[in-house]
């Protein structure tokens, strides 16, 4: 399935690095989401973009910076992360509020 | 109280067994409900939506009780391939143009031969 793609699939970075995660959806949806999934914890919604406008920011630290240049692409820029930020970062998209959310395969991030 | 609460399990059942998962949610204004499935080290995938009238998809039956704020999933005739984590998901979109999904912690199911 290639409806929602994410790159890279795996990323190891030091605390002083800057990196970006990329998400692309090929489903014509108008909303895109970033989630964080840590071990033994439920998925946590980080950011929501609707019609390319950020509409939700769930108290995410500023070391995570999202960007949505158009309705098909979503980025998550990372800088000066902490080891506790190591997790699976999932991108999703949907059409309207009640539409099913389709997830990308995720980026497994390790911060050393 | 957690917004969406599930028994984390794990549930270990033999092939052919019937297994039921339960979930409760705290927001009485929640609008829509889902069960997602997540295989190990993979992304969540929609298993089925849950409706007040109850709905069935093959071996899977989902029920919603709005009065009790309770959701269930029943799997009949379990297969080895049903082994996964089952996520109870609630949408609190509340008039927005986008979804606001809240996920439960997930229930781990292992089906053994």
pLDDT band of residue B29 (cuts 50, 70, 90) is confident
CB contacts of B98 in chain A (<8 Å) are 30-31, 33, 48, 50, 55-56, 94, 96-97
Gap between the Cα atoms of A53 and B63, Å rounded: 35
Residues 61-100 on A with a CB inside 8 Å of B are: 90, 94, 96-100
A58 Cβ contact list (under 8 Å, min separation 6)? A44, A45, A46, A47
Gap between the Cα atoms of B54 and B33, Å rounded: 11
pLDDT at A1: 54
Gap between the Cα atoms of B81 and B43, Å rounded: 16
pLDDT along chain A (112 residues), means of 10: 90 92 95 92 91 81 94 95 95 82 96 94
Percent of chain B with pLDDT over 90: 75
In chain A, where do the E strands start and end? 4-7, 10-13, 18-25, 31-37, 44-50, 53-57, 64-70, 73-79, 87-94, 102-103, 107-111
Q: Do A100 and B96 touch (CB under 8 A)?
A: no
Residues 57-76 on B with a CB inside 8 Å of A are: none
Cβ count near B33 (within 10 Å): 22
Q: Do A101 and B105 touch (CB under 8 A)?
A: no
Gap between the Cα atoms of B7 and B59, Å rounded: 21
The bridge status of strand B11-14 relative to strand B107-112 is parallel
CB contacts of A101 in chain B (<8 Å) are 46, 99, 101
pLDDT of B102 higher than 70: yes
């Amino acid at each position: 399935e290639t409806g929602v793609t994410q790159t890279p699939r795996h990323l190891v970075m030091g605390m002083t690095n800057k990196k970006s995660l990329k998400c692309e959806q090929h489903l014509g949806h108008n909303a895109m989401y970033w989630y964080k999934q840590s071990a033994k914890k439920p998925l946590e919604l980080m950011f929501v973009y609707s019609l390319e406008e950020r509409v939700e920011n769930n108290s995410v630290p500023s070391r995570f910076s999202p960007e949505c240049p158009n309705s098909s692409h979503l980025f998550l820029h990372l800088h000066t992360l902490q080891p506790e930020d190591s997790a699976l970062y999932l991108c999703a998209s949907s059409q309207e509020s009640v539409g099913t959310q389709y997830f990308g395969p995720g980026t497994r991030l390790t911060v050393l | 109280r957690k917004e969406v609460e599930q028994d984390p399990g794990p549930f270990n059942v033999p092939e052919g067994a019937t297994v039921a998962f339960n979930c409760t949610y705290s927001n009485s204004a929640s609008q829509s409900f889902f069960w997602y499935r997540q295989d190990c080290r993979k992304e969540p995938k929609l298993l089925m939506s849950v409706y007040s009238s109850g709905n069935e998809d093959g071996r899977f039956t989902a029920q919603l009780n709005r009065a009790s704020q309770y959701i269930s999933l029943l799997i009949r005739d379990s297969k080895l391939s049903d082994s996964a984590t089952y996520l109870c998901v609630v949408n609190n979109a509340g008039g927005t143009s986008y979804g606001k999904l809240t996920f439960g912690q997930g229930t781990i199911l292992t089906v053994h031969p």
